[in-house]
Amino acid sequence: MKEKNSTSLGLLLGLALFVGGTLFIYFSSMFERNAPVVTMSTGEYWNLKKPLEIKIEDESGIKSYKITMKSNKESKTLQYEQLITPEKSLSLTVKPPRSAYAMKEKNIEIIVEANDVSKWNFLEGNSVRQVFKFIIDKKRPQLSIVSNSYKISRGGSALVIFRAMDANLKDLYIEGVNGKKFIPQPFYKDGYYISLLAWPVKAENFKATVVATDLAGNVAKSYVPLYLKNRAYRVSKINISDRFLKTTANLSDQFPETQGLTDALEQFKILNGAVRTQNEELIHKFSSVVDKDKKINNFKINRMYPLKNAAVVARFGDHRKYYYNGEYLTDSYHLGLDLASNAMAAIKSQNKGTVVFADFNGLYGNMPIISHGLGLYTIYGHCSSIKVNVGDEVTKNQIIANTGATGYAMGDHLHFGVLVQGIEVRPQEWMDRQWMKLNITNVIKSAKKIINRN
């Protein structure tokens, strides 16, 4: 009986040890069963210039790794390492071998193999073998300027037409100043593009560079040869009076940002600062949209003059600096042309377009925005009434609104603005038939002749 009990105890002890050992193996980090994870941020194209960034991660620690480049003709080890101290995360920068630059093959594989320090799999650990396939593209996109405006003035516009060719083209834009990117549209025939440009009135200098990037990361740049005319704009030192501030206080009640404030100077600074910035951001948002996939075959634009028999009461580009009792308060730029005629005079659009905004916009009051294509927009501020709605297609000479004094206006007038891809430009250029002929019409005609010869 005693012998039988001893056998039973032995069996129970053995079973307990077996279960305990199994549970230990199952739950212990020494026996984790997950293979290392390999990630690579690069896409399916590689130009052999930018190194590959590879990350290997494992919860128990990486014991070894190997990176191989394989083509149809050869296999070459790029990196191999047996780690003395296991790492849970490795960030690797992998450069191609020198021989790769001379190879003519377009397709390769990058094979990443890694082993961890886990005791799983009969102490062999977990392993991974991941294959990344790449298309080799070492050629930059081809760029050439076909035709462009001869010059651009500070605060003004220009036009450029160019050719961009690449089988794997990814990004295409024209780099201006202050990080501005002008988006071109397809033009006339495949491989050709067109875009308006704008020199911001606040920028001291200007440069336009066409930039093309393909899927492999190859970059090509081409400078647009424009003669720069640094036009001077008036700087006005304006000493505001108590009477002016009283008028401002009366107007400030219609703006949420200044309601409840009793300090007239503070009201004025907020209106001319934060509120103006907010209103201009709305204008820039709606006037920056470009249909980059829509092909432009021609761009005919009529002389813009939205108000008949109007007098100019404030010009574009004026830099206004405000003072009170000799102390500087704030400043602003007048980014449109103020026109005045009769009260509630009819405002007409001289060009067809699509209404993209028709509502109240703070200092600008009731204000429609019209898109005329190619990133060209017009705005009409301080209107007493708006005759169009968002989505309407307007025609030449259609009445779109009436002048007024809504928003921050001291009298009935029209604030007329012209924008190119979200940048305010001189309306006077778009009112000048000769300027439009030289800088728009003739540039397009010249480009078509060159394209037709090719």
Question: Which residue, 83, 112, 136, sits at the end of a domain?
Answer: 136
The answer on pLDDT for 29 being more than 60 is no
Do 242 and 219 belong together in one domain? no
Q: What is the pLDDT of residues 119-163, one digit of tens each?
A: 887 677 899 999 999 999 999 999 999 999 999 999 999 999 999
The residue type of 449 is K
The residue type of 344 is M
Helix (H) or strand (E) run with residue 320 in it: strand 319-324
C-alpha atoms less than 13 angstroms from C-alpha of 127 in its C-beta half-sphere:
11
Q: How many domains, the chain? A: 3
Name the phi and psi angles at 150, rounded to 5. Answer: -70, -40
Task: Tell me if 406 is assigned to some domain.
Answer: yes
Closest CA to 106 of 45, 167, 50: 45
Rounded CA separation 223/331 (Å): 34
Question: Which residue, 183, 207, 231, sits at the end of a domain?
Answer: 231
Do 105 and 225 belong together in one domain? no
Q: What is the pLDDT of residues 393-444, one digit of tens each?
A: 999 999 999 999 999 998 999 999 999 999 999 999 999 999 999 999 999 9
Q: What is the pLDDT of residues 176-216, one digit of tens each?
A: 999 999 999 999 999 999 999 999 999 999 999 999 999 99
Rounded CA separation 377/135 (Å): 42
Rounded CA separation 358/353 (Å): 13
Any residues with CB less than 8 A from the CB of 4 and at least 6 apart, and which? none
Rounded CA separation 401/348 (Å): 7
Provide the pLDDT for residue 41: 80
Do 258 and 330 belong together in one domain? yes
Task: Tell me if 201 is assigned to some domain.
Answer: yes
Do 198 and 260 belong together in one domain? no
Average pLDDT, the chain: 91
Q: Which domain holds residue 120?
A: 28-136
Rounded CA separation 397/300 (Å): 15
Task: Tell me if 176 is assigned to some domain.
Answer: yes
Exposed/middle/buried for residue 407 (C-beta within 10 Å: 0-12, 13-18, 19+): buried
| CATH code at position 186 | 2.60.40.10
Closest CA to 141 of 215, 206, 202, 193: 215
Do 298 and 413 belong together in one domain? yes
Provide the pLDDT for residue 4: 55
What are the E-state strand segments in 25-168? 37-40, 45-46, 52-70, 75-94, 107-116, 127-136, 142-148, 151-153, 157-165
Given phi > 0 = left and psi -120 to 50 = alpha, else beta, which region is 391? Answer: left
Confidence bin at 25 (pLDDT 50/70/90): very low
Give me Rg for the CA atoms of the chain. Answer: 34
Do 169 and 43 belong together in one domain? no
Question: Which residue, 102, 136, 170, sits at the end of a domain?
Answer: 136
The residue type of 297 is N
Predicted TM-score (pTM) above 0.85: yes
Provide the token pair at 113: 């193999």
Neighbours of 113 (CB within 10 A): 18
Provide the token pair at 385: 């009434």
What are the E-state strand segments in 166-318? 169-175, 181-182, 185-186, 192-198, 209-214, 219-223, 227-229, 235-239, 311-314
Do 255 and 214 belong together in one domain? no
